[in-house]
Amino acid sequence: MKPSLDRPCFSRRTQRIALWLAIGLPLYVLSVGPAIRLIDEGYLPEATGYIYIPLYPLSYIPGSRAVFTFYIFHVWNVDNGGDITL
């Protein structure tokens, strides 16, 4: 029996989840810069930084700490990230 070209390989639910992950995860990682900037300027409470706790394991990857430091302090011009940064 020939496989049908009309039928997708993955279910629509699986495709939707993959799309959300492909878009959502990079946006989540990149949102750390604006969030820390808003915390630094006093627009958001410091407890907002707890949203980014799942990113801490990334700090064990060689070079990732330097990338986050550059992104937060140079791209978003944060003066004092304190304990929030990786």
Rounded CA-CA distance 84/86 in Å is 7
Average pLDDT in the chain: 86
What is the residue extent of each domain of the chain? 32-84
Question: pLDDT, tens digit, for every residue of 3-42?
Answer: 666 777 888 999 999 999 999 999 999 999 999 999 988 8
pTM comes to 0.76
Q: Which residues contact 84 (CB under 8 A, 6 or more apart)?
A: 36, 39, 46, 49, 52
Is there a contact between 48 and 78 (Cβ–Cβ < 8 Å)? no
